[in-house]
Structure 1
Amino acid sequence: MEPAVVSAVRELLPVLRDRAQDVEDRRQLAPETVKSLAETGFFRLLQPARFGGFEADPRTFLTCVRDIAGACGSTGWVASVIGVHNWQLGLFPDQAQQDVWADDQGIRMSSSYAPTGKIRAVDGGYRVSGRWSFSSGCDHATWVLLGGIVPPGEDGAPADFRTFLLPNTDYLIEDVWNTVGLRGTGSNDIVVKDAFVPAYRSLSFNDTARCLCPGQEQNPAPLYKIPYGSIFSYAITTPIIGMATGAYEAHVSYTRERVRAAYAGVRAAEDPYSQVRVANAASDIDSAWLALENNMRELMAHVTAGTKLPMPLRLRVRRDQVRGTELAIQAVDRLFENSGGRALAVGTPIQRFWRDAHAGRVHAINDPERALSMYGRGEFGLSTADAMV
């Protein structure tokens, strides 16, 4: 089934490429785009099999994300973050999964994990209030995953960073998304006014970091034993690598026909400096992708064999994730700089990929110093405690 999904996604790419400017102009994906992606089976790749999912190898999912983002950056971004939520829901207690998928296995969730709201523990669950920003694709979802910190309890219980799952009857969407990059992601604000969230519709980041979550009892597949910090971080970097790939393809296609008037009508393709820049950009993109692919292969080998994930591998995953983003941005910049003034025109793919990639770069998970420092601590034999490893 998985190869069929990959093939169906690739058949859709010309349509997504043609719609890219429309996506940017409307500031969100068109309903028909989301419907088409759903029909390929893409959103079910990481979904538990008992709810109609494929429980696919994450590399299949990430390959599709890269391809989609190479056609349209905003579509690739939304597809990735919406698609990875089906994996996370598989970690929640069974009743939470039943609440979402029992009647409709095609339900989608958006998210906003920064703990900007107010959480209060009450009998049976939590009261949740506040505003959460950057919820990509929220207009195409009917549930949301929100990050929040439960304050220390009077019984001495420590503060707990958790994810809370809410239906769209418990929140409002405020249209605030008007940006220079990733304009088509519709990453609007989620506003919640004193909603009750049952305890079973929450999940501690401590559990995801330990790779010991309630949902593993019903979903025992190796897929659900991967660290959250590994799979979610790759769901952010992969679209950026895809955008760099799209920029590369657009640049090469354009340069093959481009004539440089400022250099006596010389064909740009004959310029040795352009050739070197393209080679460097291609190498950066390949290096970024191959490192992520290899790391995910290693992760899956360990969880499939039932062996404990080595901390050096988990740290390397994050190291290569932030470096993958850096390499993709480096490639996009090099290609944009080599494209000439006509690449500045509104509607050209290269400038859209350039803006989208830089917009994705500012996501908090791409903070290079934090991830690289964690890797360095591990290499020097120092302890590392971070929920995103």
Structure 2
Amino acid sequence: MRPSHKKPGNARSISGGTTAENRGEADCVLERIRDVLPAIAERARDAEESRRLPVETVADLVSAGAFRMLQPERFGGLEGDPAQFYEVVREVSAVCGSTGWVLSVLGVHPWHVGLFPGEAQEEVWADGPDALICSSYAPIGRLRAVGGGCVLNGRWSFASGCDHASWALLGGLVVGDGGRPLDFLSVLVPREDFQILDVWDPVGLRGTGSNDVVVDEAFVPDHRIVRNYDIAQLRGPGRAVNRGPLYAMPFGAVFTTAVAAPVVGVVAGSYAAYVSVMRDRVRLSLGGGRFVEDQGAQVAVARAASEIDAAVLQLDRNITELYDHAVRGAEIPVELRLRTRRDQVRATERAVGAIDLLFQSAGGNSLRRGNPVERAWRDAHAGSMHVANDAQRALALYGKGEFDLPVEDTLV
């Protein structure tokens, strides 16, 4: 049964784990998504050419309930097992990397909003459960304190899916004397408070519409501002009303996995297409012969498949263990949080390594625009550039933890 939207006055606090009903509904989301995958794949080229997702694709994702998988149940969401959400993301990404990326990023934002004060949540979902929220978390914005809140100014880049969003999560910085940063914040602003600048024209993930957003002298009330430090310490004020285990998980795991899962899904989809096409290919050079009989091609397939499997297995293992700790009400050890970040960036690295193998072994055919390997190669490399996929930073954090050095980072 599709969950009905609960009006703010009827909002309920959830204290248990994922219910059997929600698990079943998540399975239904996956089934509904699989029904529309052919249509999403057919629109992939349109997404690339227009540099944003077609409205029909967004409507398919909304109708399937994909954006509500991590949303509070009290506002019409599923509030389910995050591993199921990332599985849906990978399947969508397999047919269109841009669509999978936008789904993952916009789909994780309802979870983050669930950590804001209840009044902010009521505003976001006042008109129904399908409000879409974009983001740009870089602390670009400047906040000036006024009575009851702050005045926000700034210009942010890489706001994926912003054309379809009615709210934005933006990074802000409180600056002290001499320009010294005092605090890093995340703020919620409605669509009427930000302007979209059409500047997105990249080599990969072209259909994500990751344009710039500009805010000019917008008032942001206190209840739509949270400290990043509090969120990292699992002290989000939204926990007062969203008591379920999903909201006891660390931002550094839930969000960063959302920018790794699409990259892995893109490469997994390309791998399947690659194997299917190459089975019947005959080499026109290097002595001819069937491609599948070449040992180099066989080894490349084996290596790529292993990298993809390792990426999926580690991502799912860590998210499952984190969620299990939260369900049991157990403290989440820092070792698990660091391992999650380690494996998240390694998953991205593994996926990029796998698509590089396929791209190289496919020869000149991989250079033709529009084929699955070429597009996946561009999309995977583009996704790997996200700051949360910065391997050097995340691996160094893990190393510090292993050496008993202090680890201070809001993405852990």
TM-score clears 0.5: yes
Structure 1 residues 121-145: Cα deviation after superposition (integer angstroms, max 9, x where no partner): 2211111011000000000001100
SS in 2 for 1:92: coil
1:235 aligned partner: 258
State the Cα distance separating 1:367 from its structure 2 match. 1.1
Contact 1:153 1:159 in 2 (8 A): no
1:211 to 221, 234, 237: 234
The answer to whether the 8 A contact 1:132-1:189 is kept is yes
Paired residue for 2:401, among 378, 383, 387? Answer: 378
The one-letter code sitting in structure 2 at the alignment partner of 1:280 is R
User: What is the distance in 1 between the residues matched to 2:369 and 2:382?
Assistant: 17
Structure 1 residue 272, shift from structure 2 partner: 1.6
Asked if the contact 1:2–1:54 (Cα under 8 Å) also holds between the matched residues in 2, the reply is yes
Q: SS state of the match for residue 43, structure 2?
A: helix
Percent pairwise identity: 51
The reply on whether 1:117 has 2:116 as its aligned counterpart is: no
Match of 2:371 among 326, 333, 348: 348
Q: What is the rounded CA distance, in whole Å, between the counterparts of 1:330 and 1:84 in structure 2?
A: 26
5+ unaligned residues in a row in structure 1: which ranges?
A: none
User: In the alignment, what sits opposite 1:150?
Assistant: 174
2:350 corresponds in structure 1 to 327
CA drift of 1:151 comes to: 2.3
> Equivalents in 2 of 1:240, 1:14: separation in Å?
19
In structure 1, what is the Cα distance between the partners aligned to 2:277 and 2:245? 44
The structure 1 residue matched to 2:202, chosen from 175, 179, 194, is 179
What is the CA-CA distance between 1:298 and the residue it aligns to?
0.6
Q: Quote the RMSD (CA, aligned, Å).
A: 1.3
Residue in structure 2 matched with residue 141 of structure 1 by the alignment: 165
What is aligned with 1:88?
112
Indicate whether 1:226 and 2:242 are aligned. no
Other-structure match for 1:20: 44
Question: What's the CA shift string for 1:314-367, capped at 9, x where partnerless?
Answer: 000000011111000000000010112122112211101100110011111111
Do residues 305 (structure 1) and 305 (structure 2) align? Answer: no
Give, as a single letter, the amino acid of the residue that structure 2 aligns with 1:350.
Answer: V
Tell me the equivalent position of 1:55. 79
Question: How many equivalent residue pairs?
Answer: 387
Task: Work out the CA distance in 2 between the residues paired with 1:281 and 1:79.
Answer: 25
| C-alpha deviation, 1:117, in angstroms | 2.1
User: Quick one: distance in 2 between partners of 1:159 and 1:240?
Assistant: 34
Structure 1 outlier segments of 4+, above 3 Å: none
Tell me if 1:192 matches 2:215: yes
1:7 Cα deviation (Å)? 1.0
User: 5+ residue gaps in structure 2?
Assistant: 1-24
Q: Which residue pairs with 2:274 in the alignment?
A: 251
By how many angstroms is 1:159 displaced? 1.5
TM-score, normalised to structure 2, is 0.92
Moved more, 82-91 or 102-111: 102-111
- Look up the SS of the partner of 1:144 in the other structure: strand
Partner of 1:353, secondary structure, is helix
* C-alpha displacement of 1:213: 1.1
Shift of 1:152: 4.0
CA contact (8 A) 1:152 1:160 kept: no
Counterpart selection for 2:91 from 64, 67, 75: 67
Matched-pair contact (CA < 8 Å) for 1:143–1:168: yes
Letter in 2 for 1:358: H
- How far did residue 212 of structure 1 move? 1.3
Residue aligned with 1:262, SS: coil
Q: How far apart, CA to CA, are the structure 2 residues paired with 1:293 and 1:230?
A: 11
TM-score, with length taken from structure 1? 0.97
Alignment match, 2:70: 46
Match for 2:53 among 2, 17, 29? 29
1: distance between equivalents of 2:118 and 2:181? Answer: 25
Q: 1:3 aligns with which of 11, 16, 27?
A: 27
Could you tell me which residue of structure 2 aligns to residue 283 of structure 1? 306
CA deviation vs aligned residue, 1:220-273 (integer Å, no higher than 9, x gap): 110001000100000000000001101101211111111101033311011121
From 191, 201, 215, give the equivalent of 1:168: 191
- Equivalent residue of 1:260, what SS? coil
